[in-house]
Structure 1
Amino acid sequence: MGNLKSISDIDFHNLIKPEYFPSPDAWEDQVLYFLLLDRFSDNKEKGFLDNEGNIIGTGNTAKYLPVDFENAIQTDPEAATWREAGQKFVGGNLVGLKSKIGYLKRLGISAIWISPVFKQVASQETYHGYGIQDFLDIEPRFGTTQDLIDVVKTAHEHGIYVILDIILNHSGDVFGYINGQPDYQNGKTFPVEGFRNAAGTPDLPLGLVGDDKYPDAAIWPKELQTADAFTQKGKIIHWDDSPEFLEGDFEVLKDLHHGSGTVDNYSPSDTLIALTKAYKYWIALTDIDGFRIDTVKHMDPGATRYFASVIKEFTMTIGKENFYLIGEITGGRQRAFDTLEITGLNAALGIDDIPDKMEYLVKGYRNPADYFNLFRNSELVHKESHIWFRNKVVTLFDDHDQVRKGDNKARFCANDSGALSLIAVVGLNLTSLGIPCIYYGTEQGFDGKGGNDRYIRESMFGGDFGAFRSKHAHFFDEENPRFPEIAKIAAIRKEHFALRRGRQYLRQISGNGTEFGYPVLMGDRMTTIVAWSRICDEEEILCAFNTDQENETIAYVTIDESLHEIDSNLKCLYASAPSPAQVNVETRNGKAVRLTIPPAGFVIYG
């Protein structure tokens, strides 16, 4: 393991195991947790609970305390050191992740999405994992192949699935152009100086470099060591211009040539065939449960369909009947759902519309209907009958890119008193349609202030680039008041089928019990109750939050008329602050209940 240099070295006959961890019946039942491996855990913390719930006293990094806030930026030189550390590898690894599986289990997580773990270009600081140099090996700073196997095994023992982040569209910066990285110019092919050596100098011929002479140079497996493996057309400048966004390099990351042809008659290149076999290898070897595929927008639909078809066929043969393929498909809902229909991917990652509408709805800056309508549109996927997108979208409000925010990147808790509304936005994420995903550090209230990618990629284990501008203090604190609240909501979601697979309805509200209407944004900011129901069979669960961060809000909320008797009641299943233990069903606008929600509060009744 870990020293393969060619696809031909893979012996699937002996590699495939007699039995694999079965897929979930439904991925919408799961709660995902996305983590950047380099920023999660280095296995050197102390004072946290291990996988069995025992406190760990060893290690040299103590738990974060309020006095540690901004302790890394007390002087200008210290602040510069902290900022610089955020651009480099900081030390998170697979062994550290393995030691925190219990932490994630107790939070209510049932599936982990791990950033790319494969070997990076040696001369660069691609700590995020998206600059792959060897598709058949693990980045040594992250650990070993056996470490990845151990992470998956430990996760499965705790009932947690594992999704790996993978890249098909591009490799790392494995070669250099003559005269430096050019911009895309009408499909022109640019001359290449050569593959980069271990130090980053492009002095190796753009061809086979030998089976083991240069393990840290060029690109591996060796089937990719050919000029034909790359498009060689310079970096994308116009991100929505076709064919530029399909052919160009992703900044300095080099675009791979996948093949040619229409979707129905696509001819995969040797490169795409080799990459697909490489990812089959990782499934067979490690028993992972799904892939999140990076930058799908920048791939030919035919290439994506080829990959999805081969992977699905392979995983079905080994007993993983519902191996999940999640595509990062930027550019709005129409492109996302068209891509799913054409390619056979299972779900789209909501990097665009969903995070924006989720964050700013809870903060009072978006119309509720704009968010809830994202999941309900038959015409979008060319269906005549109604369809609910409960298992076609991964929903999240914070992520590692935040393309939508431009130069104003920050986590939910950074602005607009977001920390006050954190439980409300998590509640919306976990109880509305879609497959919910929590970005690492959310449960500790990370703020990600700074306006740049690095600041929304803080370190959970401290080191030189800890969250809240700190250093040398870890954040695996299960006594943080946010942690148990998120765990409670996740537990209620798991208990109630309707919250996972039910239909969804935005509900009308009324302040006086007579005049009802859907909450809408009027003026700069909306201060109101936003409520929705999840219904499955004869069960209705009513969820609501208060966008007013300063005042308690009271409103009548419409519920399903056929499922409730007058003078019956709905019991409070969850409240982020003291709220009525039950609410009575009254004859108003059909039938309604009177909700009282604390400032920035979130409640569940059923």
Structure 2
Amino acid sequence: MVGKQLSKLNLESFFPDTGFHPSPIAWEDQIFYFMMLDRFSDGKEIGYRDIDSNIVAKSATRTTPMFKEQDKGNAITTPEDEKRWREAGFKYVGGNLKGLTSKIGYLKRLGVTAIWISPIFKQVKFQETYHGYGIQNFIDVEPRFGTREDLRELVKTAHANDIYVILDIIFNHTGNIFSYDSKHQPNYRDINGNFDPRWDGNLYPVQGFNDKSGNPTIPFRKTDPNNPSTWVDEDDAVWPVEFQDPSFYTQKGRINSWDNDPEYLEGDFFDLKDVTHGEGNLDNYNPSPALKYLSQAYKFWIAYADIDGFRIDTVKHMEEGATRFFVSVIHEFAQSIGKENFFLIGEITGGRKRAFTTLEKTGLNAALGINDIPDKIEYLVKGYRNPADYFNLFRNSELVNKESHTWFRDKVVTMFDDHDQVRKGENKARFCADPDAEKVVLNALALNVMTLGIPCIYYGTEQGFDGHGNNDRYLREAMFGGNFGAFRSQGVHFFNEENWVYQEVAKILQIRREKIVLRRGRQYLRSISADGENFGLPQMIGNQIRTVIPWSRILSEKEIVLAINTDYEQMQIAWVSIDNELHNEGDFLKCIYSTDPELLGKEIPVETRNGKSVLIPVPAAGFVIYE
């Protein structure tokens, strides 16, 4: 039984009898899949395939049918219905750990080898923090999601099916666990007279810790961890009990200027309360008790559930010394139990240079590529970005002072759809929200998984989800239906393995698993030519590009050539330059994948043009692989 005191936890008592699941040799070999747990599965679906590929039948507890085309819009048939559907997106919908466990087969057959789960920790009681970022208890699971044992069972099931588990964690802040005192502070009110405690470098008086109803009725003072009679109810304030200490929090109000130093380090993340991590410079950082206890809490989850890695939220908003301390503690603990390559991914906003520098200084394993990469993938595939803009993201050796191909191979997690799309401001939209975008979503997935970096698929993309609107909720549709299903639906699920995007992605990922060159090889954007004489990199004409976009992956004298077609309507054929020294005139490249089955197995001859070249046909809105 897990107690309420971190200082009393004996981590070894939670170690699995059979030992810990080992880390992968190379994380760049993996395919990540990120889901919002509340929006993924509630375990009540029917008609999908279980882990053993059996069709799940209807029962007393399983009643949700699979989505059909006529279900689109079934939740918004009247203005009142539409309002209910939209409001449902702000609240818990019902996804849970057992539901996710039941879909491990769906993920495995897709080709996923690592699942990244939104935070599962217990949330403040009085807010609808379904996203998981409002933590009230760092060593317990949110009851709406399940139990600690449910998490342990999920990880066991995933490991048995060759899937690693990455938890989304937060140590920059807690949930909304206390309230500032609004009395006698007229200077901190907005134009409507509401109390608006914004960072100005000074401390704000605190009225009290919040109780489970959100009222600051609990004295804001240090609790004696060794005297249980002073402890509050488990749904009140914050837990473990050590965190019931005012010195653990900066108490300086919310961030208003997100790039103002030290405001973005000291301020609250909206109403989420900033944690005091310590003081000092990078090399002489003195961690606070709060940071030490947070490190212990996350070590507990590794020990208890056999977790394989963490995605760390809001790294920009923490001192580099704090991040380095946490990374060192976690890596040392993981190595001590045999997880030699425990993976730590940082969400580092502020551009590539900040991300590269932060990795170097802190020891994080990788950065989440949420700045330039998503935009370049999405709009290149849609025909509105120059290909070099994307491929050059992986070649800037001058910026990172490293040999770029090796460095980028396993230091950035790449994706194009995600759960908040900071880059799009208030105009949120999944890839498939644009007209006809479903025709080319496979190309976006192919570009993502077949180029450098560790690829990550955002849940629902493989089913063509098209959420869009002025709020994050529209990017967080429920895969299992509920009251806030995808395509403005309700009461139907989307675990459809017959969907053409799902099926084609599964084929592509199978090829990636079989070909090490596609996981670890160098990559090159290739020149093209219409006449076989005049070659140049593909680029936009005017404001768009409708042609073949080819690239190569090369590893130890082995080259594989890949290409997408940004023309939605017709096949494009182009001469494509390939490595001059790896091929001889008269050799052949064979098509091992094409969105047009007629091209599969076809061979194309290597000719002496611009060094060496091949004439590659790519179907309309299609993707091909030649080796």
Paired residues of 1:579 and 1:598 also in contact (CA < 8 A): no
Tell me by how many angstroms 1:382 deviates.
3.0
Q: Which amino acid aligns with 1:190?
A: Y
Q: Which residue of 1 aligns with 2:185?
A: none
Q: Which residue of 1 aligns with 2:421?
A: 402
Corresponding position: 1:283 with 2:302 = yes
Paired residues of 1:571 and 1:583 also in contact (CA < 8 A): yes
Q: Which residue of 1 aligns with 2:623?
A: 602
Instruction: Write out aligned runs for 1:96-107 (5 A).
Output: 96-107=99-110
Tell me by how many angstroms 1:383 deviates.
3.7
Q: Which amino acid aligns with 1:599?
A: A
Quote the Cα distance in structure 2 between the aligned partners of 1:82 and 1:400: 18
Q: Which residue of 1 aligns with 2:323?
A: 304
- With the length of structure 2 as denominator, give the TM-score of the two structures: 0.95
Q: Which residue of 2 aligns with 1:584?
A: 605
Corresponding position: 1:138 with 2:141 = yes
Quote the Cα distance in structure 2 between the aligned partners of 1:385 and 1:78: 52
Quote the Cα distance in structure 2 between the aligned partners of 1:228 and 1:181: 23
Q: Which residue of 1 aligns with 2:97?
A: 94
Q: Which residue of 2 aligns with 1:47?
A: 47
Q: Which residue of 2 aligns with 1:128?
A: 131
2:526 to 504, 507, 513: 507
Corresponding position: 1:564 with 2:590 = no
Q: Which residue of 2 aligns with 1:440?
A: 459
Q: Which residue of 2 aligns with 1:23?
A: 23
Q: Which residue of 1 aligns with 2:348?
A: 329
Pick which of 473-482 and 184-193 moved more.
Answer: 184-193
Tell me by how many angstroms 1:208 deviates.
4.0
Q: Which residue of 1 aligns with 2:151?
A: 148
Q: 1:506 to 1:223 in 2, by over 3 A?
A: same
Quote the Cα distance in structure 2 between the aligned partners of 1:511 and 1:263: 54
Pick which of 220-229 and 82-91 moved more.
Answer: 220-229
Instruction: Write out aligned runs for 1:343-492 (5 A).
Output: 343-383=362-402, 387-492=406-511
Q: Which residue of 2 aligns with 1:194?
A: 208
Q: 1:572 to 1:394 in 2, by over 3 A?
A: same
Corresponding position: 1:541 with 2:541 = no
Corresponding position: 1:108 with 2:111 = yes
Tell me by how many angstroms 1:240 deviates.
1.0
Q: 1:386 to 1:328 in 2, by over 3 A?
A: closer
Q: Which residue of 2 aligns with 1:161?
A: 164
Tell me by how many angstroms 1:586 deviates.
0.9
Q: Which residue of 2 aligns with 1:85?
A: 88
Alignment gaps of 5+ in structure 1: none
Equivalent position SS for 2:364: coil
- Deviations 1:171-197, CA, capped at 9 Å, x for gaps: 111111112763434311111111100
Q: Which amino acid aligns with 1:428?
A: L
Paired residues of 1:36 and 1:128 also in contact (CA < 8 A): yes
Corresponding position: 1:12 with 2:11 = yes
Paired residues of 2:180 and 2:197 also in contact (CA < 8 A): no
Paired residues of 1:390 and 1:501 also in contact (CA < 8 A): yes
Equivalent position SS for 2:550: strand
Tell me by how many angstroms 1:416 deviates.
4.7
Tell me by how many angstroms 1:21 deviates.
0.4
Q: 1:385 to 1:167 in 2, by over 3 A?
A: closer
Q: Which amino acid aligns with 2:609?
A: R
Q: Which residue of 1 aligns with 2:74?
A: 71
- Deviations 1:373-424, CA, capped at 9 Å, x for gaps: 1112223223488754010000000000100001110100001521111110
Quote the Cα distance in structure 2 between the aligned partners of 1:551 and 1:13: 62
Quote the Cα distance in structure 1 between the aligned partners of 2:221 and 2:15: 32
Quote the Cα distance in structure 2 between the aligned partners of 1:137 and 1:330: 28
CA-atom RMSD, angstroms? 1.3
Equivalent position SS for 1:63: coil
- Deviations 1:425-483, CA, capped at 9 Å, x for gaps: 00001100000000000111000122320010000000100000000000001011111
Tell me by how many angstroms 1:579 deviates.
5.3
- Deviations 1:143-198, CA, capped at 9 Å, x for gaps: 00000000000000000000000001111111111127634343111111111001
Q: Which amino acid aligns with 1:444?
A: Q
- With the length of structure 1 as denominator, give the TM-score of the two structures: 0.98
Q: Which amino acid aligns with 2:30?
A: Q
Equivalent position SS for 1:473: coil
Quote the Cα distance in structure 2 between the aligned partners of 1:109 and 1:383: 30
1:342 to 349, 361, 370: 361
- Deviations 1:473-524, CA, capped at 9 Å, x for gaps: 0000101111110000100001000000000111011111110001112311
Quote the Cα distance in structure 2 between the aligned partners of 1:285 and 1:385: 38
Quote the Cα distance in structure 1 between the aligned partners of 2:615 and 2:391: 22
Corresponding position: 1:218 with 2:217 = no
Paired residues of 1:514 and 1:589 also in contact (CA < 8 A): yes
Paired residues of 1:233 and 1:247 also in contact (CA < 8 A): yes
Equivalent position SS for 2:416: coil
Tell me by how many angstroms 1:226 deviates.
1.3
Equivalent position SS for 2:207: strand
Q: 1:534 to 1:122 in 2, by over 3 A?
A: same
Tell me by how many angstroms 1:241 deviates.
1.2
Tell me by how many angstroms 1:538 deviates.
1.7
Equivalent position SS for 2:418: coil
Q: Which amino acid aligns with 1:320?
A: K
Q: Which residue of 2 aligns with 1:117?
A: 120
Q: Which residue of 1 aligns with 2:547?
A: 528
- Deviations 1:519-541, CA, capped at 9 Å, x for gaps: 11231111111111000002111
Q: Which amino acid aligns with 1:569?
A: F
Q: Which amino acid aligns with 2:56?
A: I
Alignment gaps of 5+ in structure 2: 183-193
Paired residues of 2:394 and 2:405 also in contact (CA < 8 A): no
Pick which of 580-589 and 459-468 moved more.
Answer: 580-589
Q: 1:466 to 1:436 in 2, by over 3 A?
A: same
Quote the Cα distance in structure 2 between the aligned partners of 1:471 and 1:175: 36
Paired residues of 1:578 and 1:598 also in contact (CA < 8 A): no
Equivalent position SS for 1:558: strand
Pick which of 520-529 and 574-583 moved more.
Answer: 574-583
Q: Which amino acid aligns with 1:11?
A: N
Q: Which residue of 1 aligns with 2:38?
A: 38
Q: 1:592 to 1:46 in 2, by over 3 A?
A: same
Q: 1:384 to 1:532 in 2, by over 3 A?
A: closer
Q: Percent identity?
A: 60
Paired residues of 1:183 and 1:237 also in contact (CA < 8 A): no
- Deviations 1:282-341, CA, capped at 9 Å, x for gaps: 001100100000010111000000000010000001000000000000111100000000
Aligned residues between the structures = 605
Q: Which residue of 2 aligns with 1:315?
A: 334
Equivalent position SS for 1:62: coil
Corresponding position: 1:253 with 2:256 = no
Equivalent position SS for 1:389: helix
